[in-house]
Structure 1
């Protein structure tokens, strides 16, 4: 009997041990499974090609950071980890720096998948950098055009730093080649300059034609990148605006670069698509002259290139404006084309916005000039009062400002006011 009891107790003991072992084993298995799921989640979150919808992120942002002119963010954008981009740029090394602008520094980087990219690192002290970051992400995520720079992705808005990742465009900017560090190469012959003008106008015409319309608001030669074949990639959409449907203008404090800002916009705080046309007129003047938009080393009346160009065109002194290396004086065909482009620039630089052509008309005229098919409109008597009115307006409103000191605060309280 004692043996039976001992055997029974031993059997029960083994059952208990087996049950406890199974429970512990199950607990360990569940724990390992949880760790595996967590590991995979973290890896997926860190992976550079993971894509998330930015909409929920935008909706969680405090209203003080929201721009009333921004639409809802509905487009998928690849999200990069800060660590990968830090690695790609060698810790944001100064040797990788491509340039610096008003909102951030751009570095050349190489991703783990081998792609060479340009990484914009937004300045930390810029109080509205979140707005500019979200603005550029939304706009570039919806655009597809051969002459617009491509956005490859960005960091999360809640990342350690705000970083934007673009395609790398290797041949510098138009400004570099006209009057910057690459100007000595003299690579921009007149045919190349015509091509640059046409491709830039084509990119802007695309922006103005999409719905909702997009106003770039910072058109300038340092924002026009060039690839190795000297084809255009328009960049930097931090100041761009999605234009409300059926609106004639947006009331907003003037922003942009000195020398390029539409004087009407500067004076009246009204942004329209013709504001980009004015800036493009300054770009045309740069392509003709190889001179920067603002140069304090010039005489006081010529510090502003737009002012100089208008004066020389009106007084029939175009030869004093044109870059001598373009053959204006020696080649009749070249002289004809440059003169026609100068006349187009004059139209773009009119202070009355209604007198400026649309960017689509500018594009059509440039293409016709390049092909030799452009026929200038004859000036009839009915046109004379209009031209006189333009001169009077020119005396009453300022040119695009040479500096932005103390003139950029808006007291407007309209619903579309920003900055």
Structure 2
């Protein structure tokens, strides 16, 4: 189990914020403070009285039925987040607030100022580097591991690039727990399948098909998206599905064809790491749920990638140092040889007989040229 889990503090007390405090913090939910809209609510930038910067989610109001559904999801998100331990790869829960009516509930979270993975991949002018993509993939895998191996076990059910946000240090964190379920909760047995088309496990067709392997399918899709930067569903391409397009290429080990063409191809060492990630993604996308790996297996595999990259990097560095020392020693030998030849020609003691000044210069140039090799 992730060592992080052993040192985290359980959020035992649900912090209750004053409703008026949050109204003031968001300037009465001003459009100028709107950060974005999720599956069941709008998120606002808030500044509390102590100058702490937060994100405030408010359930969307779109008709009675929709409002009831959105409120239910927000209630669920508050319940799930407040039951989790703190994690460096899951959005931080700060508290909640009940408004003037039972239909007005607010969720207070840490602010994630650098947007979503979806925006980084598909909107940003500068695409992320290969090392950054590998780092993001690892952080997401650890977030899922935290949910699946923690107590209570949580199945997110909506893992996608739009629900992966970046904090001020560009650390990726999993967010939007409106559809999340804890199997320990008896009500989860009746929950209908839910998720986002393109990321949703096709085998999740009924409540009794709920399992952690549903999340593994979604994680596999996100891994493909990170490496390829292709949209999950793109009707302008054939096939439209990223899964149908990428998996056959992965099986043929045609890694470079999957890689985002907007940046230079990965180096040999990085390509090996990306190949490992793509192979992991392909296993996650297996039609047979039993063949999909657990998230623990994925983290171990990706950790191995990181260790191998560091080891190979160190080997490369030491090889460079040794080569430099060998070349330096060779140059010193040639330099001494050069000195002896020049000295002997000046004394007229060269076996070849008469050596004129032109011969001296040519010989000296040849030796110096060799010393530079």
TM-score when scaled to structure 2? 0.73
Matched, 1:225 2:165: yes
CA shift digits 1:178-222 (9 cap, x unpaired): 112xx2123x21111111111111111111112331101111111
Name the stretch that deviates more: 211-220 or 266-275: 266-275
Mapped to 2, the partners of 1:185 and 1:91 lie a distance apart of 35
**Counterpart of 1:281?**
220
Would the aligned equivalents of 1:250 and 1:272 in 2 still touch at CA under 8 Å? no
**Counterpart of 2:328?**
none
Mapped to 2, the partners of 1:373 and 1:185 lie a distance apart of 25
**Counterpart of 1:336?**
272
Would the aligned equivalents of 1:327 and 1:334 in 2 still touch at CA under 8 Å? no
1:2-401 aligned within 5 A: 75-125=12-62, 126=66, 127-143=68-84, 144-156=86-98, 158-159=101-102, 161-180=104-123, 183-186=124-127, 188-244=128-184, 250=189, 252-266=191-205, 270-299=209-238, 301=239, 303-328=240-265, 331-372=267-308
| Deviation of the 1:149 alpha carbon | 0.8
CA shift digits 1:92-131 (9 cap, x unpaired): 1222111112211111111112111111111123232332
| Deviation of the 1:75 alpha carbon | 4.4
Mapped to 1, the partners of 2:103 and 2:190 lie a distance apart of 34
**Compared CA separation, residues 372 and 350, structure 1 to 2 (3 A):** same
Mapped to 2, the partners of 1:171 and 1:236 lie a distance apart of 16
Which structure 2 residue ranges, 5 or more long, are not aligned? 1-10, 311-373
> What is the aligned residue count?
293
| Deviation of the 1:269 alpha carbon | 5.5
Aligned Cα root-mean-square deviation (Å): 2.3
Task: Report SS of the residue matched to 1:98.
Answer: strand
Name the stretch that deviates more: 153-162 or 280-289: 153-162
TM-score when scaled to structure 1? 0.65
CA shift digits 1:223-259 (9 cap, x unpaired): 11112322122111110001138x9x95642111111
Name the stretch that deviates more: 193-202 or 258-267: 258-267
Task: Report SS of the residue matched to 2:14.
Answer: strand
CA shift digits 1:355-392 (9 cap, x unpaired): 00000111111111122179xxxxxxxxxxxxxxxxxx
Which structure 1 residue ranges, 5 or more long, are not aligned? 1-73, 375-419
**Compared CA separation, residues 193 and 159, structure 1 to 2 (3 A):** same
